[in-house]
């Protein structure tokens, strides 16, 4: 018995995985050259929290990340932390991290829109003066929320690997999915990298 190859199915699968393709990838928020990105017309940053800016459930931002964000702000970037806080009381932690980084924040929780819903990112953009689809960048560690949300909204994005150590529950769920999507996407352009 001969199996029919289904080119329509292959095309649909390829289109499906492309929804998760970031504009760029970087080693870390600390390695991103925000000055080079500003030369591309970008100046507003939507920045994921857990796994991107700090470890999951941590109140500590690694110094190299905090330093690069300070440099970005000094060079005209406006930053808004955007996190799916899950429950309203978890939003307090996001607020504290925003105080540490001296930036805006939006902690999305039910019943409000959460990432990847583009409305969640639009709400975060509204916290920054003059943020538009043309000047806003999303940086995050999750293809299924951060990158997919940015693509739905139509803004550029940078995917970064999750900050170590990754909790076991995340390693056996989200990180496995991330690695499969990364393999399926193949080559991803490197973000402009700063020398430090």
- Sorted by where each begins, the domain ranges of the chain are 20-185
Cβ pair 50, 83 in contact under 8 A = yes
Give CA–CA dist 26/180, Å, rounded: 18
Nearest to 188 by CA among 26, 17, 25, 15: 25
Nearest to 150, CA basis, from 27, 42, 4, 51:
42
Residue 158: the pLDDT is 98
Q: Which CATH number fits domain 20-185: 3.40.50.1000, 1.10.3720.10, 3.30.70.1430, 3.40.1710.10?
A: 3.40.50.1000
Q: What is the pTM of this model?
A: 0.90
> Rounded to a whole number, what is the largest CA-CA distance in the chain?
67
- pLDDT tens series, the chain, 196 aa: 455 565 555 455 566 899 999 999 999 999 999 999 999 999 999 999 999 999 988 999 999 999 999 999 999 999 999 999 877 778 899 999 999 999 999 998 888 899 999 999 999 999 999 999 999 999 999 999 999 999 999 999 999 999 987 777 777 788 888 889 999 999 999 999 986 5
pLDDT of residue 149: 97
């Amino acid at each position: 018995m001969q199996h029919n190859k289904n080119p329509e199915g292959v095309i649909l699968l390829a289109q499906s995985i492309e929804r998760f393709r970031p504009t760029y990838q970087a080693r870390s928020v600390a390695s991103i050259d925000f000055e080079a990105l500003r030369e591309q017309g970008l100046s507003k940053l939507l920045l994921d929290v857990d796994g991107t800016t700090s470890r999951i459930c941590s109140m500590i931002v690694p110094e190299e990340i905090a330093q690069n964000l300070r440099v970005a702000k000094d060079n005209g970037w406006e930053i808004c932390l955007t996190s799916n806080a899950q429950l309203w009381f978890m939003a307090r932690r996001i607020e504290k991290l925003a105080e540490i980084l001296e930036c805006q924040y939006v902690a999305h929780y039910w019943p409000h829109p959460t990432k990847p819903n583009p409305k969640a990112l639009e709400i975060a953009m509204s916290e920054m003066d003059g943020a538009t689809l043309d000047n806003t960048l999303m940086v995050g560690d999750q293809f299924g929320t951060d990158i997919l949300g940015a693509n739905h909204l139509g803004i550029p994005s940078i995917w970064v690997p999750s900050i170590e150590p990754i909790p076991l529950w995340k390693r056996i769920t989200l990180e496995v999915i991330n690695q499969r999507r990364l393999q399926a996407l193949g080559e991803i352009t490197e973000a402009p990298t700063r020398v430090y």
